[in-house]
Structure 1
Amino acid sequence: MQRPLLFVVNPRAGSGRAERIWKAVEGRLRASQTAYEAVFTTPEADGYDTALRVLRTGRYRAVVAVGGDGTANEVVNALLRTAPSLPFGVIPAGSGNDLAHGIGFSSWEAALEAVLQGTVRRADVGRLGERYFLNAAGVGIDGVVADAANRLKGSGRWPTSLSKFVYVLLLLAKWVRFRPRSARIVVDDRVYLFHRVWLVVASNHPFFAGGMRICPGASPEDGLVDVCVVHRVGRLPFLLIFPLVYTGLHTRTPYVTVLRGRNVRVRFRLASFPVQADGEILGEEPLRLTVEPRRLWIFVPRGREELRISEEVPEPMAMLP
């Protein structure tokens, strides 16, 4: 008998957009006679707690997050602690959806099609202490903005109509008073000292913060993270070059240095900034992260897969190398 797919749905993601998308997804699952079960996050139990509880039963053949990048992060952390051989999928239904964009999905329909077709490949994940991340981790004004965004969500004053632009609006608000500092960055035992650092972002995918191409060359398949350092730039020039991040052209300016490695440590001088991973605050610096190569099986668009999962195999991923 075919094991069901597990969908972990955050109905509040994307200001309620996820709930509408889930109804459409469920209709297609029923039409295709796909075995599935769904669980829903609540204000009291996030994606991690919800997924952790049900994954311990060992009943599923794959797990799929329906929501934004934060929901995906929570579900993956539960998955890697309970059933790391199961493939992971994401149905983009949040405000940013940078992970899905980086994987190559242009819509929730395309992401669902990959799950139904069973097209998977190995992907790297990042780890900060005991916490995994899929997309990006950052510190500096990036962490300050992520912290402000989370506080805004928690207050119930999240601007629904401007969800996609909240990062930019908060960045402008924090830009006025943020004081860039010197930072010591160690990448695979290579030590760098940068001055007037605004942010340091280590990325596993090209996109973050709602479509910014922060690290255009980043790949989840090379065993490394790309580290974007914005430094030696004044307050007004920082604002002027900021729009270039949407095209990736900021990396061609003299104010941006891109490093690459498997182990990264960041410490600012005379300051302590929040550290974010996939938009979630994990405390304050120093930032210490490592890449775990090929740690996760992930659903990808057809044509990019390493293999296809056969529905006839009861425990397909347990048999994979």
Structure 2
Amino acid sequence: MYTFIINPHSRSGKGLTIWHTVEAQLEQRQICYTAFFTKYQRQATTYVRKLTSDGSSRVLVVLGGDGTLNEVINGICFPERVTLGYIPTGSSNDFARSFGIPNDPLRALEIILNPGRTVHMDVGTMSYEGKHRRFAVSAGIGFDAAICHEAVVSKWKRILNRIHLGKFTYAVIALHRLLLTSTCPFHIVLDDEKEVSFPKGWFAAVMNHPCEGGGFYFCPDARPDDGQLDVLVVSGLKAPALLLTLPFALFGKHTKFHGVHLFRCKKVSIHTASALPVHTDGEPVFLQRCFTASIEACPLKVIVS
């Protein structure tokens, strides 16, 4: 039995059409499945919490973007009893990129129905103000999170998705955010031991996978199964220098640039002088001045290419 969690509004409303293509294949092959459709934000979390609360073994298949995937992961009650499949229909699809899952929905479905390989993926947790939120790909604060916040309401995301250029959404919005964002003092604590301060921080990205934002390889050596988080802090650059540095991150070639700092740890606490935008897997979190990120004890089994 496969349980599909479907965001019909993903890829600017094409998610439902994609599901019909997938559904036809399931019917043709007489595959047993159930399907749940999301209508509003966080509904996927509610669905999955109910579905997994009894602790039974289950294969969950997400048809949506990284945001829908984030909602599903946050609803899983017994991760050790769940196997996760993914059919990417978002604009960034960094989770799929990391695992080699094809964007073609029928090819992705074939991998799920004939799973040749699974991996045990680390699951990150962000803690803030007594709350906890899981993430699969990344979490962050500052400039990159501000881009995620704007992407939720930006007309550019819809326009670029329609012409199959959705992966450039974050790059376009980044140009706009540069005009509105200023630096802020950051203080980072790694594994409760090492402390580092940055007087003019742009953003800090906590990475479980190598890339976020539609293919920006902020931490190119990050691995989702090594029990550690990779942290990128960008600080001390003027806006034009940041603008010149970011394109190199599309190829993971930014790491030697001035102002780019990389760390690896099991736990990181980030404190900022002012409340800044925060995200988990591109999903906005209310403005925060501090949060802690770590790896959960139980990994999640994922079907990969």
The TM-score normalised by the length of structure 1 is 0.85
Q: Deviations over 1:110-160 (max 9, x none)?
A: 43222112332211010013211000001011122222222x16xxx5642
Contact 1:205 1:218 in 2 (8 A): yes
Q: Are the aligned partners of 1:223 and 1:294 in contact in 2 as well (CA < 8 Å)?
A: no
Residue in structure 2 matched with residue 114 of structure 1 by the alignment? 111
The answer as to 2:96 corresponding to 1:100 is yes
Is this contact kept in 2: 1:214–1:248, CA < 8 A? yes
Query: 1:61-102: per-residue Cα shift (whole Å, max 9, x none)?
Result: 3001100000001011112x2564110111101111111111
1:39: Cα distance to partner?
0.8
> Quick check: 1:91 aligned with 2:95?
no
- Taking the aligned partners of 2:233 and 2:264, their CA distance within structure 1 comes to 11
Query: For structure 2, which runs of at least 5 residues remain unmatched after alignment?
Result: none
After TM superposition, list the pairs within 5 Å mapping 1:233-272 onto structure 2.
Answer: 233-269=237-273, 271-272=274-275
Query: C-alpha deviations, 1:34-84, integer Å up to 9, x for none?
Result: 2111110012762112333344466763001100000001011112x2564
How much identity, in percent, do the aligned residues show?
32
Aligned counterparts of 1:190 and 1:59: Cα–Cα separation in 2: 41
Match of 1:41 in 2: 38
Does 1:177 find its partner at 2:180? yes
Taking the aligned partners of 1:183 and 1:273, their CA distance within structure 2 comes to 11
Residue identity opposite 2:200 in structure 1: R
Alignment of 1:47-66 (within 5 A): 47-56=44-53, 61-66=58-63
For 2:26, the equivalent position in structure 1 comes to 29
Is the 1:208–1:214 contact (alpha carbons within 8 Å) kept by the matching residues of 2? yes
Matched, 1:276 2:276: no
Structure 1 residues 36 and 58 mapped into 2: Cα distance closer, same or farther (>3 Å)?
Answer: farther
Give the paired residue count.
292
Match of 2:143 in 1: 141
Decide whether the 8 Å contact of 1:223 with 1:293 is kept in 2.
Answer: no
Alignment check: 8 A CA contact 1:76 1:88 kept = no
Which AA in structure 1 matches 2:126? L
Q: CA RMSD in A?
A: 1.9
The runs of 5 or more residues in structure 1 that have no matched partner are 302-321
Q: Does 1:8 align with 2:5?
A: yes
* Cα distance in 1, alignment partners of residues 184 and 125 from structure 2: 25
1:72 aligns with 2:69: yes
Task: Describe the shift of the 1:159–1:147 C-alpha distance in structure 2 as closer, same or farther (beyond 3 A).
Answer: closer
Alignment counterpart, residue 171 of structure 2, candidates 168, 174, 182 = 168
Is the 2:79–2:298 contact (alpha carbons within 8 Å) kept by the matching residues of 1?
no
CA distance, structure 1, for counterparts of residue 61 and residue 182 of structure 2: 40
Q: Deviations over 1:156-213 (max 9, x none)?
A: x564222423322222112113111221101112111123211100111112111111
How far did 1:274 drift? Answer: 1.6
* Cα distance in 1 between the residues matched to 2:55 and 2:243: 50
Residue 222 of structure 1 is matched in structure 2 by 226
Conservation of the 8 A alpha-carbon contact between 2:232 and 2:261: yes
How far apart are the structure 2 equivalents of 1:46 and 1:95?
Answer: 20
Scaled by the length of structure 2, what TM-score is found?
0.89
CA spacing shift, 1:178–1:25, aligned 2, 3 Å: same
Q: Is the 8 A contact 2:42 2:71 kept in 1?
A: no
Q: Determine the structure 2 residue equivalent to 1:197.
A: 201
Distance 1:44 1:254 in 2: 39
Give the direction of change, closer, same or farther, for the CA distance of 1:57–1:12 in structure 2 (3 Å limit): farther
| Paired residues of 2:200 and 2:236 also in contact (CA < 8 A) | yes
Distance in 2 (alpha carbons) for counterparts of 1:224 and 1:29? 37
